[in-house]
């Protein structure tokens, strides 16, 4: 399969080069140049190796994006799980985490940085406030980010301070009592100091009606964010940035219904709250014309509170039913996390044929966890990471360039909890990549990359804590699963990028093949003798992921723009042993089962986003798009799938001077689709037989935004 994809990509490259060679001399491009900032050096998107997507500010505005989750569907081979009020768990090319429950040893396969601050596992804070662009890097980012980016990296960049006084104010209203207000002010504070201040408030009742409480806001959204940025400009190219961000998320969590509808029956709705303060300082010092020192120091303090009504019901649930035996319980989880990191590297500047980077990295994270669930449980977790890394670029000829990077990282952690479990981990990892690039005379850019990523291993703390209380058959099953090994991912990728048809068409395509060794897959045990759940990570011997990503942007004329993103993905797990709960509609009966040649979870075979932007003169514009995906499993302890779906979105914009009006709508067909799912017995009216329970994505939503800008 990889050979066939390689031949196909080379044929595409040859064909496009031939078309361009016979075309007329290219005119000035009608398409904006896009710059990627996540690498060591800012680079034009179409000259950057790797499958990278960039969602720009205009797209965020057209889609009325309030949060990162509102943008992910436009990205090929990118998926997400909710399991909370917002999407917190991202999968790239089928690799990623499905949820986090009790275990604090949680290292996302897909990293997230917001203005140089590590927000891994804290994607609830990814509010779209004054955002310049979102960059999605697929595949291991071993040299730049090490173990923080096994499968990819999401890099979110906000707008920088400006040289002149500029700003905007925006307000919006939508259905489900949705409201938003945002403002930003930017400009010079002195001769060498620039500043920017932005603030945003999102509110909505959510898309759930609680029938028992007769309320529409038990799954509401209330999100406030504030950001301040300073930039000091020194001599030559030197500068220093300071960014301070405060985010306060106060959302409800009442998402699952016993009837699989948007009507819930819970008497104690849950919560999904997060308060975070983060500070990032970045200095870019031009030591001399040939050498730059860049240093990033970041700190964050995050407190989160998550809880839910475990039974999703109320004291009256069994009224009118016989043989109905309800239970009532809640699960409350509080976490606090402090994180500090330092990344410093020296870089050569504009070497004629040879460029290099050499750096060091250090991070410390402390996390405290309290759970109130049939009593109190406490844990403390501390991690330390240290790394050295380097990257070399060598121009073999004017057309060929070779890039190699290597990172060595040490990982240490300490864990203890109120069940008297104590553990330590100490391990070393190597990550990196090797890339060969070629640029044709017409500007077509092709590359081939081999990259390696690693994700730390450890122990399953929850399983170890309750191991002595398990039924013997589950003790025997879990004996070899109390620990999970480090996961390694080897990615081989080829790609092509370029501009064609007089620079009116931009195209990027990539084909990849990834081998997962000791893949960390999330699984559950239901101890049907002692009646408790245990979540754990299972190290599965091997897995395979391969596929293609294709994106294009075509300026048909001054009035019409076409765009598309398509992802095709095949995944496989050779073999995994699970505790199967049995068939749907039957009482739960836990049985140890071996699954072979199983598709990976949250890995749909097809994903797509097609659309057009139409400009009816200088004032009026419209955007139409369809996004969708095929079905996919959402777990390993059952065979249930999230069904395929297609969603239609549209927007209409009108501008008068400095004021713009924006009518928008998403999921205009009002399609019911799932963003997360569970499979177990939880309805006493049916005798607790196994069922599929779905957390639904947003229904038809629409609204109007009004924005005033000055500059």
Asked if residue 686 lies in contact with residue 325, where contact means CB atoms within 8 angstroms, the answer is: no
Give percent of the chain with pLDDT exceeding 70: 95
pLDDT score of 22 = 39
- For residue 29, pLDDT over 80 is answered with no
**Residue 689, pLDDT score:** 94
Q: What is the pLDDT of residues 232-259, one digit of tens each?
A: 999 888 999 999 999 999 999 999 999 9
Q: How confident is the model at residue 520 (pLDDT cuts 50, 70, 90)?
A: very high
Classify residue 376 as exposed, middle or buried by CB count within 10 Å of its CB (0-12, 13-18, 19+): exposed
Give the pLDDT mean for 392-396.
Answer: 96
* Residue 457 vs residues 112, 477, 480: alpha-carbon distances, Å: 20, 19, 14
Q: Is 349 helix (H, G, I), strand (E, B) or coil?
A: coil
pLDDT surpassing 50 at residue 144: yes
Nearest CA among 430, 447, 537, 448 for reference residue 489: 430
User: Per-residue pLDDT for 12 more than 70?
Assistant: no
Instruction: Give 8's pLDDT tier (boundaries 50, 70, 90).
Output: very low
- The reported pLDDT for the residue numbered 571 is 97
Kindly state the average pLDDT of the residues 487-516. 97
Q: What is the pLDDT of residues 627-651, one digit of tens each?
A: 999 999 988 888 889 999 999 999 9
Residue 67: predicted pLDDT:
93
Q: Given a cut of 60, is residue 4 above it in pLDDT?
A: no
Q: How far is CA 82 from the centre of its chain?
A: 11
Give, for 511, the enclosing helix (H) or strand (E): strand 505-527
Determine the Cα–Cα distance for residues 326 and 268; give it in Å rounded to an integer: 15
Mean pLDDT of 433-441: 97
Residue-level pLDDT at 479? 92
Domains (ranges, CATH) in the chain? 2-710 (2.40.170.20)
Residue 7 in this model has a pLDDT that exceeds 80: no
Q: How does pLDDT run across 447-457, given as a tens digit for each residue?
A: 999 999 999 98
Mean pLDDT of 503-528: 94
Q: Mind listing the pLDDT tens digit for each residue in 277-312? A: 999 999 999 999 999 999 999 999 999 999 999 999
Whole-Å CA distances, 563 to 377, 552, 555, 615: 51, 6, 9, 14
Q: Indicate whether 10 pLDDT > 70.
A: no
pTM comes to: 0.92
User: What is the bridge-based pairing of β-strands 487-500 and 445-455?
Assistant: antiparallel
Q: Residue 17: pLDDT above 50?
A: no
CA distances, 336 to each of 192, 273, 642 (Å):
38, 12, 33
Q: Is 463 helix (H, G, I), strand (E, B) or coil?
A: helix
């Amino acid at each position: 399969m990889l050979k066939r994809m390689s031949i196909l990509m080379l044929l595409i490259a040859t064909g496009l080069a031939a078309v361009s060679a016979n075309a007329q001399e290219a005119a000035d491009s009608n398409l904006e140049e896009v710059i990627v900032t996540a690498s060591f050096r800012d680079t034009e998107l179409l000259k950057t190796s790797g499958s990278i997507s960039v969602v720009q500010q205009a797209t965020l505005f057209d889609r009325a994006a309030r949060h990162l989750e509102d943008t992910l569907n436009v990205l090929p081979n990118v998926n997400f799980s909710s399991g909370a009020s917002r999407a917190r768990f991202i999968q790239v090319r089928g690799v990623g985490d499905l949820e986090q429950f009790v275990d604090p040893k949680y290292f996302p396969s897909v990293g997230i940085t917001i203005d140089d601050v590590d927000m891994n596992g804290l994607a609830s804070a990814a509010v779209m406030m004054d955002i310049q662009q979102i960059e999605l890097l697929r595949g291991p980012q071993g040299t730049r980010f090490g173990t923080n980016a096994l499968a990819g990296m999401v890099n979110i960049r906000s707008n920088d301070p400006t040289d002149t006084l500029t700003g905007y104010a925006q307000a919006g209203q939508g259905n489900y009592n949705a409201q938003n207000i945002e403002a930003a002010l930017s400009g010079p504070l002195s001769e060498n100091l620039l500043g920017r201040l932005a603030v945003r408030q999102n509110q909505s009742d959510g898309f759930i009606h609680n029938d028992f409480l007769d309320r529409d806001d038990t799954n509401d959204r209330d999100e406030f964010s504030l950001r301040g940025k300073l930039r000091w400009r020194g001599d030559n190219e030197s500068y220093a940035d300071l960014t301070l961000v405060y985010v306060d998320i106060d959302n409800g969590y009442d998402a699952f219904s016993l009837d699989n509808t948007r009507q819930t029956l819970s008497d104690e709705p849950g919560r999904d709250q997060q308060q975070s303060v983060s500070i990032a300082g970045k200095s870019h010092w031009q030591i001399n014309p040939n050498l730059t020192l860049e240093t990033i120091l970041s700190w964050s303090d995050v407190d989160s509170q998550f809880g839910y009504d475990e039974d999703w019901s109320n004291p009256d649930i069994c009224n009118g039913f016989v043989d109905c035996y309800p239970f009532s319980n809640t699960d409350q989880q509080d976490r606090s996390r402090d994180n500090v990191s330092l990344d410093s590297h020296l870089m050569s500047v504009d070497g004629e044929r040879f460029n290099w980077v050499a750096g060091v990295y250090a991070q410390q994270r402390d996390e405290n966890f309290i759970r109130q669930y049939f009593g109190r449980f406490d844990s403390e977790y501390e991690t330390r990471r240290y790394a050295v890394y380097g990257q070399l670029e060598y121009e073999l000829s004017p057309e060929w360039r070779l890039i190699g990077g290597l990172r060595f990282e040490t990982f240490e952690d300490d864990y203890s909890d109120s069940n008297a479990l104590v553990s330590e981990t100490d391990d070393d990892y190597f990550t990196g990549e090797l890339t060969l690039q070629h640029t044709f005379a017409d500007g077509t850019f092709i590359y081939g990359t081999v990259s390696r990523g690693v994700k730390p291993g450890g122990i399953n703390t929850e399983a170890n804590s309750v191991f002595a209380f398990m039924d013997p058959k589950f003790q025997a099953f879990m004996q070899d699963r109390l620990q999970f090994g480090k996961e390694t991912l080897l990615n081989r990728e080829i790609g092509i990028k370029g501009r064609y048809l007089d620079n009116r068409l931009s195209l990027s395509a990539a084909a990849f093949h990834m081998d997962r060794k000791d893949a960390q897959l999330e699984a559950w045990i239901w101890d049907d003798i002692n009646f408790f759940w245990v979540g754990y990570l299972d190290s599965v011997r091997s897995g395979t992921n391969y596929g293609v990503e294709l994106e294009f942007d075509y300026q048909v004329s001054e009035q019409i723009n076409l765009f598309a993103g398509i992802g095709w993905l095949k995944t496989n797990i050779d073999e995994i042993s699970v505790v199967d709960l049995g068939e749907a509609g039957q009482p739960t009966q836990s049985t140890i089962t071996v699954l072979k040649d199983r598709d990976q979870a949250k890995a749909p075979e097809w994903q797509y986003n097609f659309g057009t932007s139409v400009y009816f003169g200088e004032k009026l514009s419209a955007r139409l798009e369809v996004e969708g995906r095929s079905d996919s499993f959402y777990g390993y302890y059952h065979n249930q799938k999230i069904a395929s779906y297609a969603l239609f979105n549209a927007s209409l914009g009108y501008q008068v001077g400095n004021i713009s009006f924006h009518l928008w709508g998403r999921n205009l067909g009002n399609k019911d689709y799932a963003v997360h799912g569970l499979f177990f017995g939880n309805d006493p009216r049916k005798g607790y037989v196994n069922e599929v329970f779905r957390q639904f994505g947003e229904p038809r939503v629409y609204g109007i935004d009004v924005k005033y800008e000055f500059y």
